[in-house]
Structures are given as structure tokens and as C-alpha cells.
Amino acid sequence: MEIVKEETRENKMGVMPVNKLLLTMSIPMVISMMIQALYNVVDSIFVARINENALTAVSLVFPVQSIMIAVSTGTCVGVNAILSKRLGEKRLEEADKTANIAVLLSILSYGVFLIIGLFCSEFFFSVQTGEAQIIAYGASYMRIVCCCSFGLFLQVCFERLLQSTGRTFYTMLMQGTGAIINIILDPIMIFGYLGFPKMGIAGAAVATVTGQIIAMLLGLFFNRKVNHEIHLSIRKMVFDREIIKEIYKIGVPAILMQSIGSVMVFLMNKILLGFTSTATAVFGIYFKLQSFVFMPIFGLSNGLVPIVAYNYGAKNRDRMIKAVKYSMFYAIGFMCLGMLLAECVPGSLLLMFDASESMLAIGIPAIRILCTCFVLAGFNIIASSLFQAVGDSIYSLVMSAIRQLIVLLPAAYLLSLTGNLDAVWLSFPIAEIAALIVSSALLKKVLKKLNF
């Protein structure tokens, strides 16, 4: 029975028309990530109803949440690429081992952030601001999301195991369920509806981790019931030095790549606080809004990685190239739509967060400037996914460093010296152009390497 299932899965990854396969793999991920983006925005909308300091606190804690996501998804990028490649090579026992080690690594990663949440929450905020209310709000929120982050780590792990075997529909159900639960619980927990105590910003954190934990439990169920290529068992969760080394050969650059984003947000917030805390709140709102545009592209790239990795293992260059070309077409097209929307109605988008006149004055030009880099980012994201899928994750790290660290932060700092806040936002399109130049050169190099 398992042999039949394996052949069916192989036919899907190795034989199905590439465009159909990409859409089949990606659309569930795009839908689930759009729902994920929706709950991120709704979370901030409800928090903004408390006051602007609460919104600023959530914006300042974003780097910590991003690092948790970076560690979990970065590790699982390595797992995803290796697991799909092993299945393509028909090394099924190693694929099974990889899946179980992924769960073990996720549990160990959670332990690190449990300690951070317990002992570092107040310190993290005190080094960013002297505003007592922001520190109190932020420390409360951060402590809850870190100490209960086992739901996040295992949810991401179970999602990636399903993606690796082509079952992205179930990842959509996982993420969708968790996000919807979060959206429902947000107003209940924050404002104390339906007999619940009024918890304020802590309620937003409780709603978030509850959604993650339920999604995690659903993911465990799906992997045990429908993911027949792998078999999860506590007895199999043992260290294998070679597999762990291979996972982190791909995973560490991916972790660093996404962690760079957290460093960028932290330091950018420091630059913006030099102008006004409202600028920091605007930057936080922008990140929530841009997720509606970027999350579908990440969903597309998540569907692309196992397709490329599988066919890389099977040495089918033609299918790999076709998958990348279709992904580029869809990513750039979607980014164009996102840019058009942001350019046309930035004020309406900000008003969803109870934007004051001062916030509108800062936010409208900011969003119009920032969204000009969307199209370039679409190209760079797909190129990064190709690099990860074929084991060249260091290239993705280089691109991310250029986009969010090497070019962006020095440009933002230098432009801030002009005393013109609008000039600071120009650092984003400048960095994206630099990344495009580098990614194009690296893409040409990788494609030459793929001449099997």
C-alpha cells in the first residue's frame, strides 16, 4: 500500500505538468498565508484600539517574533529541501530519519526562547525606549509569545513535513484554522467579551499562542494520518550528526537570512525613534500591510522549493527551470497589483488602525515610497528560493544581507542625517535595486551549474 502511495506522490512531483503542479502546491499555501497575514493585521487593528503606545509596543516586539519564525522556518527550510531530495532519490529511510530529527530540533529551539521570554522581556524593551507604558505593554506581550512558542515551532515543523511530500492542502487547513481562531479570540481576550476577563495587550498574545497551539495539534494529526511517506515516533527522535549537519548547512543561512530582518527592524526602529514614536508605529503598520502582498509570494516560494528540490534529486533540469519561470511570472504580477493598491489608497489603509492626523501625515508618503520596491522584491524572493532548493543557501544569505543590512541600514542612517523622515524610506528601494543586481549575477551562475 505504501509503495502505491509513493509512486502516486512521485508522479505528482516528477510527471504532472509544471504549471499545474506549481499551482497545486502553491495555492493552498498562498491561501493559508493570506489568512495568516489577515490575522496579523487584525491583531494590530484591535491592539490599536487600546492606544498608540500599545501599537508601538507590538511593533517593537516584532523582531523577537521574527527571530522565532526565522529559527523555526530556517531549520525547516533545510529539512524541506533534504526531505524532498531524499524522496526524489528514493532514499526513504533517510527521509524518515530527517523528519523525526526535525521535530526534535524544533523542541530544542523552543527551549531557548522559553528562557529568553522568562528572563529578557523587560530588558529588551528598556534598551529601546524609556516610556514606562510601552515597556510594560511590550514585556507582557513578549513574555507570553516566547514562553508558549512551542506551538509556533512545532506548527512550522509539521507544516514543512507536509509540504515536503506535496500535501500543501493540509498546511492550508492548519494555518487557516490557527489564524481564524486567533481572529475570533482577539477581541474576546483583549476587551473581555463573553464573560472573559479584560486582558488588554496580554489578551492579544494569548489569542496568538492559542491559535498556534491548535494549529500544531492539527498538524500532528495530519502527519500521523495522511503523511504516509514519513513516520513520526518519539523513539526515532535521536541525534544523527550527518543529517543534522546537512539540515543546518542549508538551514543556518536561511536562519541568518531571516534573522537579518529582525536586526534590520530593531535598528530601523532606533533610527525612527530619533524622529518620533509615531514613525515607529507607522513602520509597524507597514510591515503588517505588506504581509498581504509578500505572504502570497512566500507561499508561492514554499510551493516551489520542494518541486525544485525533488527534480534536482531526479536530475530533471527542464522541470526545474519551468517551475522557476512560472514562479517569477506569478510573483512579479502579484507584486505589481500590490504596488498599485498601496499607491492609490494609502490613507484608507492607515485609517484601519485608527491613524491620527500626525500618523497619516507620516504614513501616506512612507507607504507610497516603500511599495515601489515590491516588484524587485518579488524577483529576489523567487531567486532566493531556487538557491535554497539546490543547496546554495549562502547565496540567499548574501542577498538578504544586501537587502536588509549591508545597503539598507547605512543608507537609512545617512539619509536620516538630512533630518527628513521621508528620505529615510528611500533606503528600501535603494537596497532592493542593489539586491537585484547581485541576485541576477548569482542566478546566472546557478543556472549554469544545473546543466546536468
- Tell me what pLDDT residue 452 has: 56
Which cell is 272 given?
Answer: 525612527
- How confident is the model over 264-278, as pLDDT tens digits? 988 998 899 889 889
Model confidence at 284, pLDDT cuts 50, 70, 90, reads: confident
Any idea how long the chain is? 452
pTM for this predicted structure = 0.72
Q: Report which residue type is found at 10.
A: E
451: exposed, middle or buried (Cβ count in 10 Å: 0-12, 13-18, 19+): exposed
- Cβ neighbours of 307 (radius 10 Å): 29
- In eight-state DSSP terms, residue 403 is I
pLDDT at 8 over 60: no
Question: Residue-wise over 23-32: b if at least 16 C-beta within 10 A, else e?
Answer: bbbbbbbbbb
- Tell me what pLDDT residue 13 has: 66
Q: What is the mean pLDDT of residues 334-344?
A: 93
Question: Within 120-200, where are the H helices?
Answer: 121-126, 132-147, 150-164, 168-191
Q: What is the mean pLDDT of residues 331-345?
A: 93
Model confidence at 92, pLDDT cuts 50, 70, 90, reads: confident
Instruction: Count each helix (H run) and each strand (E run) in the chain, helices first.
Output: 19, 0
- How confident is the model over 357-388, as pLDDT tens digits? 999 999 999 999 999 999 999 999 999 889 88
Q: Give dist(CA 225, CA 232) in Å, integer.
A: 10
444: exposed, middle or buried (Cβ count in 10 Å: 0-12, 13-18, 19+): exposed
